[in-house]
């Protein structure tokens, strides 16, 4: 028996098809559907992400605008750009690419994004809404993780779910959304003593630690659902080439789990789909 792979690309494509219909309607009504991003110069990861976003937005008919800030910009400058975007009625969706220039207070900038335009769900007001079970403008990776779990058809009420990693952008909001779904949630972190004792009880195990090979087959319950959120760049021992892996030791987990959300091709594409979903939602509300 081998686990069924949860196809994040296919699920994301379905979400995008639905969005394309709504975008068409909004554009026909002469509503603006656009995504404005703030991007610091010399941010290679952010630039690659921004290029991919631009391509995807173009495919869907979403206008995409980049607002560059110098790599030595200070709080005042970055907050000024955010403030300008907040007050522009044509701007409906704002995202700030990280990392920001050294010395800029990221949390202060995120808190300054207008709550109703915050498509990544990084403003404390939107993160706070997650505690009330609100999914509108919840952090995109948390939304994507929930969609991946729900695609398996599992009844979450009463299920034991173990979250490995408790960051404010992934582990904690996912835990809150799972609690809203009436799951029994265990949140673990780097200080957790004997991680495997917890993960072995999980009907669902979510890994978002950023540690390649952290979750092995002997650490999970047979027929459990495993959602790998980690994105790690490693050098392949055989080819010497760089490749992307998650936190799961796929070889040992596949024969034990019932479902596995893989890396790449799992939560990643779904996270992008959730960003687009939030972008359309803010245009809809505007």
Q: Is 95 in the site for ligand NAD (CB under 6 A)?
A: no
Considering the complex, what minimum distance in angstroms separates the CB of residue 182 from ligand NAD?
24
Choice between 81 and 163, CB closer to ligand NAD: 163
**Choice from 47, 152, 184, 192 touching ligand NAD (CB under 6 A):** 192
CA 250 to chain centre: 21
Q: What is the x/- site pattern for ligand NAD, positions 105-144, by CB under 6 A? A: ------------------------------------x---
Q: Which two tokens stand for residue 147?
A: 């969609």
Among the listed ranges 76-84, 86-94, 111-119, 187-195, the one in contact with ligand NAD (CB under 6 A) is 187-195
**Parallel, antiparallel, or unpaired for β 160-164 and 184-188?**
parallel
- Total site size for ligand NAD, rule CB under 6 A: 25
Q: Does 164 bind ligand NAD (CB under 6 A)?
A: yes
Q: Does 171 bind ligand NAD (CB under 6 A)?
A: yes
Return the residue of 167, 184, 216, 244 that touches ligand NAD, per CB under 6 A. 167
Using the rule CB under 6 A, which residue among 170, 205, 219, 280 binds ligand NAD?
A: 170
Selected from 23, 113, 162, 166, the binder of ligand NAD by CB under 6 A is: 166
- Nearest approach in angstroms of CB 166 to ligand NAD is 4
* Interface positions, 194-253, toward ligand NAD (CB under 6 A): 195, 208-211, 214, 229-232
Residues that bind ligand NAD (CB under 6 A): 141, 164-167, 169-171, 188-190, 192, 195, 208-211, 214, 229-232, 267-268, 271
């Amino acid at each position: 028996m081998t686990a069924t792979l949860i196809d994040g690309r296919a699920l994301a494509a379905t979400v995008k098809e639905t969005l394309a219909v709504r975008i068409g309607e909004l554009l026909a009504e002469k509503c603006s559907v656009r995504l404005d991003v703030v991007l610091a110069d010399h941010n290679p990861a952010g630039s690659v992400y921004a290029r991919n976003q631009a391509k995807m937005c173009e495919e869907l008919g979403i206008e995409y605008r980049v607002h560059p800030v110098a790599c030595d910009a200070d709080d005042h400058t970055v907050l000024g750009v955010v403030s300008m975007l907040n007050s522009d009625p044509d701007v409906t969706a704002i995202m700030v690419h990280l990392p920001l220039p050294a010395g800029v207070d990221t949390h202060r900038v995120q808190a300054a994004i207008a709550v109703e335009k915050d498509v990544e769900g990084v403003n404390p007001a939107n993160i706070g809404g997650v505690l009330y079970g609100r999914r509108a403008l919840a952090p995109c990776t948390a939304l994507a993780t929930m969609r991946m779990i729900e695609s398996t058809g599992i009844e979450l009420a009463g299920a034991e779910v173990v979250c490995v990693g408790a960051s404010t952008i992934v582990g904690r909001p996912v835990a809150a959304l799972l609690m809203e779904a009436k799951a029994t949630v265990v949140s673990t972190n780097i200080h957790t003593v004997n991680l495997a004792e917890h993960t072995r009880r999980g009907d669902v195990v979510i890994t978002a630690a950023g540690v390649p090979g952290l979750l092995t087959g002997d650490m999970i319950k047979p027929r459990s659902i495993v959602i790998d959120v980690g994105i790690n760049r490693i050098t392949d021992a055989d080819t010497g080439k760089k490749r992307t892996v998650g936190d799961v030791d796929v070889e040992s987990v596949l024969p034990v789990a019932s479902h596995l959300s893989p890396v790449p091709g799992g939560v990643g594409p779904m996270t992008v789909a959730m960003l687009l979903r939030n972008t359309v939602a803010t245009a809809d509300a505007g």
